């Protein structure tokens, strides 16, 4: 997941700003501009944000009130380079809010969110500023500028249009109020999910642990010990704990209990999001209506590869028709297996799927996560993932022991190319904690751009995960899916690190939402390649390479569960389009909304009280509203892109260079379909995905 930091307009008007003793006030006097976390306190953020807004307002007024004829240089470039202090502080504040947020930082976010929303609106609704932008757009002579200049102008112009510049009278004031309200609601949603997820605990005794592998038992024991409860075992809703229990526990009653805990998050009580999600959907609908659109999805999809809801729904339905019959056949086989395994008829419930699916996979291929885990100690995986970038793109990673970090577990790496040139910095943050959102994401403390003096300012990238922690007796040993997650987020990181753009607003991952997942999902293909796995997977005790037969089993089993996985993702996509396809304010029952949206891809019968939406951060607070389909869209792209590597060699230097030069380095400097066709030689086709997943032979 590419974690969105700011609303689109705060993306566009970025550079840097701050206050007197405050570290954010000026350019960091650190090596290569790394963040001086040792000199930042929670108390610094709010005054720095306020001063940043004040400075930015003065810069905007100066641009808007010029008496000279509007030009690309004095208007568009001026806007692009404005707001330096504000960008500097927000580029640290938002990542910390997701990765290291205590109550005091959350309180700051609650105070500044409406102020930032108001600031964003005040820029887009500045009539003088809009008229200057419009003049430059209407009179732009493309023969005098390069294509990236045009793309920046186009993005700025579109941002103004989408953010209310064309609105008049009361509609402008309504837009201001709606965007402020939306900012407050999304923040409330995010904070509720963080607090709710952290407070759920399932305390067990040794007798409750039947079926769990040693790694899961040790992790549960360590979690209990961290809360001074020796002799007990703690299971939480954090991904490594939850997923291991659901996959391995023989205790169906406890699996059901944990499933219900997970899927009833934020449905009632102090941290309920049930009304919040309705308010978010209705607020977004109201914004779309101001612009003459029937739905938020219609409004949101204008500047995407898909362009409209009909294209999205057509893609989702095409995949449903291809995958659903296979998924139903697979489920029938799994039910038969489970019944034979138990010795009586079994109706598979959602808390049973991971358990029986893992058992069947083990029976079919004699392989499971616990067999692979010893070969994926985190240090080896880091070596393998970084080695992938070395082999593909000539990148080298050396740990920077002098860099300041926001948590002792965070590491920083200097990234250079084969010629020794500095490429950027990479922060890694691997383990769960109570102040950290669940999931995995990539973001930036600084994005790549060329400054006013012609200097190529290199990016500072962060990768944030929630991996299995080390225990008293073992290092962090990752599951296959956790290694895959690392490769995924690293793909986003490479998209940022390899950026070679002029403008921050177009660099790195600042691309269409349905294009941004291509580099990340492309990387996942290598998890099914012997040549990649054999290079780093070594037993944490003996140092022996992963046996060839295990790799063969990984490859042979790679299509297992693909149909279920796709149908499950389609369900999420339909939920997203359901909420943002409403044409009237929603006042009904979120349970009914969710079930109606995904009825055509329903895998299990609804479970009373269980619902996805109140914790579905991607579409309510994470920047993927009416955009969740992008994961499947990007799968079509990544499978098709990787098929060229399969044809020419998975580490072919020329092919890798083409992918780097046409996709990874270009950011949003050109239309994504143009970039893709420059790499692939044609538009993407769905066939490679169907072949990869075993749907089409």
How many CB atoms within 10 Å of residue 497?
25
Residues 48, 85 contacting (CB under 8 angstroms): yes
Three-state secondary-structure class, residue 429: strand
From the list 547, 502, 545, 495, the residue with the least C-alpha distance to 518 is: 495
Q: If residue 591 lies in a helix (H) or strand (E), which one and from where to where?
A: helix 590-597
Cα Rg of the chain (Å, integer)? 25
From CA 512, how far away is CA 346, in angstroms rounded? 45
Per the DSSP assignment, residues forming a β-bridge with 181 are none
From CA 588, how far away is CA 364, in angstroms rounded? 45
Max CA distance (Å), the chain: 84
- The tally of CA atoms less than 13 A away on the side-chain side of residue 393 is 27
Length of the chain: 697
Per the DSSP assignment, residues forming a β-bridge with 461 are 426, 444
From CA 149, how far away is CA 156, in angstroms rounded? 11
Secondary structure of 481-495 in the HEC alphabet?
HHHHHHHHHHHHHHH
Residues 424, 459 contacting (CB under 8 angstroms): yes
Sheet of strand 396-399, all strands in order from the earlier edge strand to the far edge: 396-399, 411-416, 422-429, 460-464, 441-446
SS3 of the chain: helix, strand, coil, percent, to 5? 60, 5, 35
**How is residue 393 written in tokens?**
């793109």
Per the DSSP assignment, residues forming a β-bridge with 233 are 204
From CA 282, how far away is CA 303, in angstroms rounded? 21
From CA 685, how far away is CA 325, in angstroms rounded? 21
Separation in Å, CA 304 to CA 223, 513, 550, 561, 673:
43, 7, 41, 30, 10
**How is residue 543 written in tokens?**
């140092």
From CA 177, how far away is CA 182, in angstroms rounded? 9
From the list 216, 276, 217, the residue with the least C-alpha distance to 244 is: 216
Instruction: Calculate ∠ Cα 664-668-669, nearest 5°.
Output: 95
Q: What is the DSSP string of 150-218?
A: HHHHHHHHHHHHHTTTT--THHHHHHHHHHHHHHHHHHHHHHHHHHHHHH-EEEE-GGG-TT--HHHHH
User: What are the residue ranges of helices labelled H in 230-344?
Assistant: 239-248, 252-263, 274-290, 296-300, 309-342
Per the DSSP assignment, residues forming a β-bridge with 204 are 233
Instruction: Calculate ∠ Cα 379-34-46, nearest 5°.
Output: 115
From the list 44, 8, 5, 43, the residue with the least C-alpha distance to 28 is: 44
Separation in Å, CA 665 to CA 393, 426, 499, 523, 658:
11, 17, 4, 16, 10
- Catalytic residue numbers? 489
From the list 279, 361, 321, the residue with the least C-alpha distance to 613 is: 279
């Amino acid at each position: 997941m590419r974690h969105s930091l700011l609303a689109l307009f705060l993306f566009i008007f970025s550079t840097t700003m701050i206050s007197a003793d405050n570290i954010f006030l000026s350019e960091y006097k650190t090596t290569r501009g790394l963040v001086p976390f040792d000199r930042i306190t929670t108390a610094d953020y709010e005054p720095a944000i306020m001063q940043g807004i004040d400075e930015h307002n003065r810069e905007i007024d100066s641009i808007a009130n010029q008496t000279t004829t509007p030009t690309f240089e004095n208007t568009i470039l001026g806007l692009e380079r404005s707001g330096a202090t504000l960008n500097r502080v927000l580029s640290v504040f938002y990542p910390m809010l997701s990765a290291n947020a205590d109550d005091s930082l959350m309180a700051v976010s609650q105070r500044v969110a409406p102020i930032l929303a108001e600031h964003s609106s005040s820029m887009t609704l500045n009539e003088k500023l809009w008229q200057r932008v419009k003049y430059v757009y209407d009179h732009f002579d493309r023969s005098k500028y390069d294509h990236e200049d045009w793309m920046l102008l186009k993005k700025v112009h579109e941002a103004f249009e989408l953010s209310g510049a064309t609105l008049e009278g009361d509609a402008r004031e309504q837009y201001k109020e709606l965007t402020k309200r939306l900012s407050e609601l999304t923040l409330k949603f995010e904070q509720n999910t963080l607090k709710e997820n952290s407070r759920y605990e399932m305390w067990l005794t040794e007798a409750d642990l039947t079926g769990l592998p040693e790694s899961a038992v040790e992790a549960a024991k360590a979690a209990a010990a961290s809360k001074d409860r020796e002799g007990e075992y703690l299971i939480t809703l954090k991904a490594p704990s939850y997923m291991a229990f659901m996959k391995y526990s023989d205790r169906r009653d406890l699996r059901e209990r944990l499933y219900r805990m997970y899927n009833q998050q934020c449905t009632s009580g102090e941290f309920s999001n049930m009304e919040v999600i309705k308010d978010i959907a209705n607020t977004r609908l109201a914004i779309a209506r101001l612009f003459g659109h029937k739905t938020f999805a219609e409004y949101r999809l204008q500047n995407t590869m898909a362009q409209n809801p009909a294209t999205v729904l057509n893609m989702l339905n095409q995949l449903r028709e291809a995958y659903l019959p296979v998924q139903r056949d697979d489920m029938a086989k799994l039910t038969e297996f489970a019944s034979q395994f138990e010795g009586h008829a079994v109706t598979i419930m959602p808390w049973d799927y991971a358990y029986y699916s893992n058992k069947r996979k083990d029976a079919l291929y004699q392989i499971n996560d616990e067999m692979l885990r010893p070969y994926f100690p985190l240090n080896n995986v880091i070596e393998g993932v970084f080695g992938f970038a070395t082999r593909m793109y000539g990148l080298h990673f050396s740990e920077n022991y002098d860099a300041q970090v926001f948590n002792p577990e965070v590491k920083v790496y200097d990234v250079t190319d084969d010629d020794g040139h500095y490429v950027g910095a990479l922060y890694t943050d691997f383990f769960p904690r109570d102040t950290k959102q669940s999931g995995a994401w990539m973001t930036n403390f600084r994005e790549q751009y060329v400054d006013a003096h012609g200097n190529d300012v290199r990016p500072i990238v962060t990768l944030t995960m929630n991996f299995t922690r080390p225990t008293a007796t073992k290092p962090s040993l990752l599951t296959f899916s956790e290694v895959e997650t690392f490769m995924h987020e690293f793909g986003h990181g490479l998209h940022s690190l390899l950026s070679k753009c002029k403008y921050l607003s177009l660099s790195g991952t600042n691309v269409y939402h349905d294009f941004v997942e291509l580099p990340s999902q492309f990387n996942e293909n290598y998890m099914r390649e012997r040549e990649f796995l054999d290079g780093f997977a070594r037993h944490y005790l003996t140092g022996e390479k992963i046996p060839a037969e295990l790799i063969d089993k990984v490859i042979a089993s790679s299509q297992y569960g693909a149909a279920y996985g796709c149908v499950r993702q389609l369900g999420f996509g339909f939920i997203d389009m359901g909420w943002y396809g409403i044409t009237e304010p929603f006042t009904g029952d979120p349970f009914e909304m969710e079930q109606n949206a995904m009825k055509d891809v329903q895998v299990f019968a609804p479970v009373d009280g269980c619902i996805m939406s109140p914790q579905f951060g991607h579409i309510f607070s994470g920047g993927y509203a009416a955009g969740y389909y992008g994961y499947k869209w990007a799968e079509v792209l990544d499978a098709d892109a990787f098929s060229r590597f399969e044809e020419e060699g998975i580490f072919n230097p020329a092919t890798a260079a083409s992918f780097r030069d046409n996709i990874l380095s270009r950011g949003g400097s050109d239309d994504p379909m143009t970039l893709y066709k420059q790499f692939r030689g044609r538009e993407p086709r769905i066939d490679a995905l169907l072949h990869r997943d075993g749907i089409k032979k």
